[in-house]
A and B are shown apart, each in its own frame.
Chain A
């Protein structure tokens, strides 16, 4: 039988209320423990979320950026092929005259501009590379020889019969690019070309869906801007970002002027251009950190709140502990007084009897000396009576002395003890007589080679007395036997007190150490004896065990640690 009592302070608290520093320390330990328990998971979770969310978010951003790049490049491809088709349709029209007149060229250009405002001018080149017909804002270009121009040479080499050039300055010294198609008419190799304004193309791109949240630029293979958001640069400037050629579509990180940024690119199919998008810087930061900041804020708030609760809770716990310690100390004192109360009736008998002897013997002496009765007392007789009075007086003194021993508020005072003698001192005198009154036989089975153990004699006496009282009560005023056995079992010295009483019912056995649990009649027992005994023995580092069989009797075994004790020589 062992009652769960865990921590050390509880054990010792049974005997005194601790000083304030103990409770401060307890509170501090509680706060730390509760904080670790409740705050650590939140903090870990927050960090995990913070990192994970960041990764997820940047992954999401990347995907989003990539899809914008892909969409825009597709749209741009479509846009360029439409422009190409414009030219194809024009030149393949059976009504297209070779070479066209200026008026026709004007009409043709107007038609082109109607389909896209990016068209700037239109030129017609004969097989020798001379621009024979032209309409546009640069009439000086008419009759110019383009046979040495790069785009013209590339077109002649091309197998597909068209070309879309990078942006260049050309004769007009303005950024533009060329879309040209070539045909063979009546054996002559002729070329129709239109130039387009990149700024118009930029406007077109800017009008696409999703363009608002990104900066878009187009870079050629050599790494020069073709089209670019104005504040990032201007066409034909060298780009700070050069996307890889493979794969054709991707997301990359680059460091521009010490700032790390993520961009998505997509190579066009119709031209050797890569479309690059990157989030507008403002958006890049604010949304990301906004959500994370929220999470951090909420976590911090939670931590502060929980900390607040924990501190409050620890305070409460410590208050409860303090209260409980105080109650236990009071309980212990009450139990001591109560056991004195239980003793009082027996003590009254034990004191009153010698007093009666004194009174009667003194009375007898008076009678003997009274001439009325006519006795002649012998000095020897009188001396015998006086001795009887003297003995009785000291019998009373012994009892009051013992009584005081129980009432005295005892602190734990450790002494080397002979347990056999300690038990005898409890049994000695009135307890034995008391047992005899109830026809209870006391059998002592002491081990003769018990080591002395260091313990508290007052408290042990109290426990042994308590056990003996219980054993006697268990007999219910029938004759019986109490066997007291002392022995060594392992590291413990055992005191076994067996009675032949009524035994403890199985349903009660778990409760017997609880305060105020009693099976005795109302007014006979306080229910404190075993509870206090348990506390005392625990406090002395030992334990109490109990075995019982209804109708046969009960054995209480008190085990006391031998460690750190001296051996009897």
Chain B
């Protein structure tokens, strides 16, 4: 893999967190761990992630709250919910909030990898879509606008990428 997929894993179950992180690292992911919601949000503000794996029930901020803030602050991040609390209600709520997928614990690693791959592709697609918009914008602006306007529009688009 030319570029490592950047993962943020949030779970209060430390043993689980350690194991999954190690296994995913062995499979070439760039993994960052957080044991609660606040720490996860801090990490996300520090560096850009492609996909986040979120536990739902945690002390402090729960997974749904973390998901809400993440999706608000980072337009293109994809979130996968991993939870032992397999109720339909929470799945629906998470999907509404923009979660990419919902995996009940315990799961097959192959399944997780598959979902991760898809999430990353979705993330890439969004990136490409953004790039296309950017290109179109540049072409459009280049036709008549001043260079200053072009730069301002570009920075607006970049804001979303943060």
Give chain B residues whose Cβ lies under 8 Å from the Cβ of A392.
15
Binds B, one of A73-81, A177-185, A360-368: A360-368
| Partner of A439 from B19, B20, B60, B106 at Cβ < 8 Å | B60
Given A353-B13, A437-B57, A439-B60, decide whether A363 and B84 contact each other with a Cβ distance below 8 A.
no
Q: Is residue B1 contacting chain A, with contact meaning CB distance below 8 A?
A: no
Q: Does A349 contact B (CB under 8 A)?
A: yes
Please give, as numbers and ranges, the residues of chain B lying within 8 Å of A385 by CB-CB distance.
Answer: 19
Asked whether A107 is an interface residue with its Cβ less than 8 Å from the other chain, the reply is no
Q: Verify if B162 is at the interface (C-beta below 8 Å from A).
A: no
Interface contact tally, CB-CB below 8 A: 71
Which residue in chain A gives the minimum CB-CB distance to B105? A356
Partner of B86, one of A348, A373, A388, A439: A348
- Whether B124 is near chain A, meaning CB under 8 Å from some CB there, is no
Tell whether A360 pairs with B83 under 8 Å between CB atoms, given A352-B106, A353-B105, A436-B59.
Answer: no
Residue in B26, B85, B87, B104 whose CB lies within 8 Å of A373: B26
- Chain B: how many interface residues by the 8 Å CB criterion? 24
Given A345-B85, A348-B84, A367-B23, is A360 in contact with B16 using a C-beta cutoff of 8 Å? Answer: yes
Cα(A453)–Cα(B119), bound, Å: 59
Distance A357 CA – B23 CA, assembled complex (angstroms): 12
Complex Cα–Cα for A367 and B29 (A): 15
CB distance from A342 to the nearest CB of B (A): 12
- Is A351 positioned at the interface, with any CB of B under 8 Å from its CB? yes
Chain A residues in 8 Å Cβ range of B82: 356
Q: How far is the CB of A208 from chain B (nearest CB, A)?
A: 107
Known interface pairs A360-B23, A364-B22; A348-B106 also in contact (CB < 8 Å): no
Let me know if B84 and A437 touch, CB within 8 A. no
Within 8 A of A (CB), among B82-97: 82-87
Q: Mark B9-34, 1 if CB is under 8 A from A, else 0.
A: 00001011001101100100000000
Please report which residues of chain B, range 31-84, place their CB below 8 angstroms from some CB of chain A when the two chains form the complex.
57-60, 62, 82-84
User: What are 10 A-to-B residue pairs whose CB atoms are below 8 Å?
Assistant: A353-B84, A356-B16, A356-B105, A357-B16, A359-B107, A363-B109, A364-B19, A364-B23, A385-B19, A439-B60
Query: Which residues of A are in contact with B by a Cβ distance under 8 Å?
Result: 345-346, 348-353, 355-361, 363-364, 367, 373, 375, 385, 388, 392, 436-437, 439
